[in-house]
Amino acid sequence: MTPPPLDDLGEPRARLSPAIRDALHAGRAGLGEPGPPVVLGREEEAASALRSLESRPRGLTITGRPGSGASTLALLVARRWNKAHPGGRVAVVDLAGPDRRVHDAVRELLLSLGVALDALPARLEQQTKLLRATIKPEDIVVLDNFRRSEVADQLTELLPEAGRFIATARLRSKTPNVTATALRPEDSLTLLGREASTTETDGLIARCAGLPLALRLAAGGGDQFSIDYDDPIDFAVRLAALRVGEATGSSARSILKMLRSLVEIGGTADPEAAGAVWAMGEAAARQHLAVLEAAGVFYHDPARGLALRPALAEAALPDAPDGVVAAYVSLAGRKAGRGRAADVAWLDRQWPAVREAVRRSVRSGGPDFLETVSNLRRVAGILNRHHDLLVLDEIAQDAARSRGDQRSEAEALGRLAFDHYRTGAIDEAEAAAGEAVRRARAVGDPVLLAAQLIRASKLALARRLFDQAISGLEDAVHLARDGGDVPLEIDALLTAADCYRHVRNVEDAAGALSRVRHLLADRSPTEDDPGPWTRLARSYLELDLPQEAFQTLVPLLGDGTPANAPVALELIGEVMRREGDRSEAVRALSNAVELYREHGDEAGECRSLVALAKLTVEDDPLGAAVHLDQALDLARRSADLPHQARIWSELGNAFAAGGEVAEAMSAFDYSIATARELGDLHALALALAGRGRLVARLGHSADALATLGESFRLFESLGAVQETAAVSRDVADLLIAEGSADRAVDLMEQAVSRARDADDLPSELLNLGLLAKAYELAGMGEDARQAQSRARRLAGRLSQRSDVTEAVLSIVPLRLAPSGGSEAVERDLLTLVEQMTPGEPASVRVLQMHWRAAVTAFRNEDFRRSRHHLDQLVELASGAGADRLDMRSMLFTAYRGRADVSAATGEYEAARRDVERALAIARGGPEEQSEMLGLYLQLGDLVARTGDLRAAENYYRSALEFGDDTEGEDLHGIHARLGDLALSQGDLKAADARYRQALALAEARADGRPIGLYLRQLGDIARRAGRAREATQFYQRALDIARGVTAEAADDPNALRDLYVTLAALGQLSRDVEDYRTAVDYFRRGLEIVEQLTAALPGEATLRSDLAAAHRGLADTYREAADWDSAVRHYREALSAGESVMALDPDDVQAAREVSITHDSLALASADRGEIATALDHYQQSLEIAERLAATNPGNLLLQRDLVISHQNLAQALSTQGSMAQARRHMRMALDVAVRLSSQDPLNQDYRAIVATLEERVSGLSG
């Protein structure tokens, strides 16, 4: 049976279309005339997608794993949509690749819609307009390989509402979603081209995991990738199109390198050619294996790796010399040790042949047979193939026994014991461990015996048989010392310290660690073995001795071995976290990431990125998601599927903490699916726990209980004590919320008992708190009181332990949710912490919990709750005593946090008072001195917002004085602020001097964007002073700077905005000199930039304000040029843009003020056209806004002055109409406000002049 013909779905990428067609339709030649279009197993998904599109959503997302056929399904749906809507077109653009630009994507869409190449406009904004004009309601756009990125987001927004789009992605999105799931076995069999199921086909189907791409490649046969060596590029591009690896260019180069090596021996890339490689002998075979390894052929997932394995590996390896097999195994083991695991499917398929070849190689002798087995063990261990580990142990044991090598047999038995334990075969593990010790005693080598005793003791420790483990380890220490094996003695001592800690023998544990430290004092770490130092540091952390851990890691930083520094920094991050210094922990982990990246250690970089994300997820969840996404890319590159599953789970936690519910759910689902497929129960339990907590937050209790219940059972079966305890508390929370008190009591009684048995005191404390609550809900008052009493006693014992602090604090963000009910949870958590003994440690913990709750609420924009926690924090810290350093620091933090809340809600005076309180604390102690500059600037900015310019100037001057004494601070920003103030008060000379100082400082630091800003401001001053030529010179220099910055960062919105502002300034200058044609040209060029930015970032209020300002600039120019119609049209556009900003944030004072000003401008333009009634209407609307702003911000002098102007404008318009009584009333109201302003600032000459002018006008209207 031949494979059914696939639908000819179009060409996603014109440049690589032949490669994609050949790869996806391999084996199609010779099939005869194609039958009806078929895509197997996708009818249900295709029908669902079409129904979604017909219900008139704008877009649809088809999700799926790589190789799942999501792109094929998208193109199928697009073709069917096209057939159902005659006259429409299908347009396709591939968004894959790091260098994709929105400009390129729009260009490709236009070409695929039939626009001629010579008809394409050069600029993006013109192309966008053409795209919107070209797409019809019947058209459909396919966005292949859509991923959250700036390019993808911009392109989605640029698409007009008229058309439809289908995106393919790995994650679910906010649009309707259809998932390309794994094919059913019967469809997989058909796609393989087989009539009936056999053992062989069933195994192949299982290995291909229902992925259509893998199945099509597997169906192609051994000659599938035969090539013509006259055109090797074609073959390389075909493979690159399948994305062998992530970077197409480097993959193509690697494959070409491999192909050229095969050319040397002739033939084509088929089994015969591969066999010729092995026939050249072991040395040549090793060389070619290295070439294959460099091409990444053997280290990718099935969808990619199957492309070459049928031809180059599967047919050849079973017949290869045993030495070649051993070489490959060693190669794979070394690669696995660097985080690049061999492929599961390849090992599954080759395992019988590899096992036999290794067995023959081992039995044939040679000094490296144990190394060969060890390397393959590393591969199998990384892939969680525990049964394969047992097979390898048996191979090594049989080989050693057949050669009479008791030493090697003892070592193989020791490994076999541990592997039996991992698979749950406890009796077999004990038997093997005992036999290993007996064989070692028979050999009579103290070092060998010590090694086997350590293995047996570690096995006893894992089974919590502490006395047995300690006895064996104490003997091992003496044996290793007698044999002079220092590394082995260190291993025994560190393991013994772990045992002592478990039985609460802190003195002996510390003594063992001190002995290790003494042994290490005479040694230096090497690149290959920093292990003893890192293990010692971890042991010190377990004993809650972070300073000793830090001192242990210092040699790794200064030993001259570059690879050791990131290892040390990674652990120092954990030390700093335990010490409560999160900023230093973040710095250490960030440096570790950079050093690992510099040294090419992808496994270390990935590990540090995950640790960094876990550390920062509470304060910056979306930033943590970025770190995890980078880690995920590294894990994909190494084909480490188990690690990928865990990272997806952490990514779900980060998205959940950031409120991105849909993305979080998709990440958890992907992690769950991957973990189930791999059989990785621990990763599965973690993902289920995260998903269950998220579902609980959303209020779906039944689903949450089912998901958390499965996670609980998995953790319990794995013996993961702390994880089991954490999930049991989540389940108990849900049961208590549902009123199922009896079930909650049973669950938490078991949880308390398990934590006590495991000596997990922090979990026991937390469990007791929930148990007391469950008892109380069940009406068991006496039991509740006893549980609370036990919790208090336990907290008293642990009050000095940092791990209790972390255990309690770590659950705060987890249980805070933006939905209802979280206040009660906060109270419960605070009550739990307050059960600790009163005094310094407990009070600090309560303060920390209030702070984290405040931060979480602020992030969720729940300012009321955030202020509540900050008020509590201020009250508690103040009552604890301001003379205490930690309380002063907490109080300082609370005041600054509360100021941020007040500023966010527009309460600038309250914010000012709190910043002044923080400033008083900073003046009183050296610890906060580094904050002084920022505090002065914050105060200046706050009072400037209220219109108190004199106070703002004083604060900025204080900042400048402090900044002069602060090494490395950027002072040009302070000078610029003082220049802004001087300019707003009409002091052009002072403003000019300040801006020139700012410019000189910025030029000294080569800060491009600030240089352009200060040049524009100096140009503004020259323009206001009437020095047009000087202003032009400043503006032209600023324009050159802006163009240079934009050329280096074409997609940077800030750089483009700078360019717009400079063009607008030149437009204003041209209008001043009545060069209206040039002014219109500048304003139009600026408007095009703002329209482009607004289209790309539609939710950005600042850009919408810029859009309104750009239209006002054009409108003012047209009005002065007496083009009334154009002026009114652009004023209305400005009004619409300004009102859209107000709609985004009704409390945005500046946006409302700009709308009021635009109404005034429209009134003037209407009056110019003789439309007095329309002018009065706009003046009235402007006044209403001004009155509202002045009433809600009585301390803002600028808004009070706006109110004066609005009353005055309306009065003058009414006077022109002849309504003298109303005109007098509004002019008098303007005078009253001006008099009030002058009385508040009697030295302000401007206010006195305004009062005098208004008095004269009131008198004139009265006469």
Mean pLDDT score across all residues of the chain: 71
More confident residue, 1130 or 597: 1130
Q: How many CB atoms lie within 10 A of CB 1173?
A: 9
Tokens of 808: 């309690």
H helices, E strands: number in the chain: 60, 5
- Give pLDDT, residue 215: 67
Please compute the mean of the pLDDT values over residues 721-732 and round it to a whole number. 80
- Give pLDDT, residue 688: 92
Q: Does residue 78 have a pLDDT over 80?
A: yes
Please compute the mean of the pLDDT values over residues 1127-1145 and round it to a whole number. 84
Asked whether 384 and 679 are in contact (CB, 8 A), the reply is yes
Instruction: Give one DSSP letter per residue of 942-990, joined into a string.
Output: HHHHTT-HHHHHHHHHHHHHHHHTSTT---HHHHHHHHHHHHHTT-HHH
Percentage of residues in the chain having pLDDT higher than 70: 67
Rounded CA gap, 335 and 102, in Å? 38
Asked whether 796 and 836 are in contact (CB, 8 A), the reply is yes
Angle at the Cα of 605 (from 602 to 610), degrees rounded to 5? Answer: 125
Q: Does residue 265 have a pLDDT over 70?
A: no
Residue 142 DSSP label: E
- Give pLDDT, residue 233: 32
- Give pLDDT, residue 1063: 92
Angle at the Cα of 306 (from 300 to 311), degrees rounded to 5? Answer: 125
* pLDDT, tens only, 604-653: 888 888 888 888 877 777 788 888 888 888 877 666 677 788 888 888 88
- Give pLDDT, residue 945: 75
Please compute the mean of the pLDDT values over residues 254-260 and round it to a whole number. 37
Query: How many angstroms separate the Cα of 929 from the Cα of each of 799, 860, 936, 964, 1170?
Result: 31, 31, 12, 14, 62
More confident residue, 429 or 1226: 1226
- Of 841, 835, 725, 741, whose CA–CA distance to 789 is shortest? 835
Q: Does residue 828 have a pLDDT over 70?
A: no
- Give pLDDT, residue 67: 64
Residue 114 DSSP label: T
pLDDT band at 153 (very low <50, low <70, confident <90, very high): low
- b vs e for 306-321, b when ≥16 Cβ sit within 10 Å of the residue's Cβ? bbbbbbbbbbbbeebb
Asked whether 948 and 966 are in contact (CB, 8 A), the reply is no
Q: Lowest mean pLDDT of 700-709, 763-772, 811-820, name the range.
A: 811-820
Instruction: List the beta bridge partners of residue 59.
Output: 165
- Give pLDDT, residue 34: 29
Q: Does residue 367 have a pLDDT over 60?
A: no
- Give pLDDT, residue 930: 55
* pLDDT, tens only, 912-942: 888 888 887 777 654 445 567 777 887 888 8
Query: How many angstroms separate the Cα of 646 from the Cα of each of 293, 314, 666?
Result: 26, 31, 14
* pLDDT, tens only, 102-119: 777 787 788 878 787 777
Which of the listed ranges 51-55, 148-152, 580-584, 1157-1161 does the model predict with the highest average pLDDT?
1157-1161
Q: Does residue 825 have a pLDDT over 50?
A: no
Rounded CA gap, 620 and 587, in Å? 15
More confident residue, 99 or 1096: 1096
In the chain the domains, ranked by start, together with CATH numbers, are: 17-184 (3.40.50.300), 529-600 (1.25.40.10), 720-798 (1.25.40.10), 804-882 (no CATH)
- Of 727, 703, 733, whose CA–CA distance to 713 is shortest? 727
Output the pTM of the full model. 0.44
* pLDDT, tens only, 7-60: 222 222 222 233 333 333 332 222 223 233 346 677 888 888 888 887 766 778
- Give pLDDT, residue 185: 80
State the angle between helix axes of 369-382 and 406-422 in degrees (0 to 180), rounded to the nearest 10: 10
Q: Does residue 176 have a pLDDT over 80?
A: no
Q: Does residue 1254 have a pLDDT over 80?
A: yes
- Give pLDDT, residue 513: 86
* pLDDT, tens only, 947-966: 777 788 788 887 777 655 44
Strands (E), 430-499: none
- Give pLDDT, residue 378: 57
Q: How many CB atoms lie within 10 A of CB 14?
A: 11
Q: Does residue 859 have a pLDDT over 60?
A: yes
pLDDT band at 72 (very low <50, low <70, confident <90, very high): confident
Which of the listed ranges 64-73, 213-222, 651-660, 1224-1233 does the model predict with the highest average pLDDT?
1224-1233
Q: Does residue 1083 have a pLDDT over 80?
A: yes
- Give pLDDT, residue 607: 85
Tokens of 491: 């291993």
Q: Does residue 422 have a pLDDT over 50?
A: yes
* pLDDT, tens only, 196-222: 677 767 766 765 667 776 566 555 433
Q: Does residue 323 have a pLDDT over 70?
A: no
More confident residue, 691 or 597: 691
- Give pLDDT, residue 310: 35
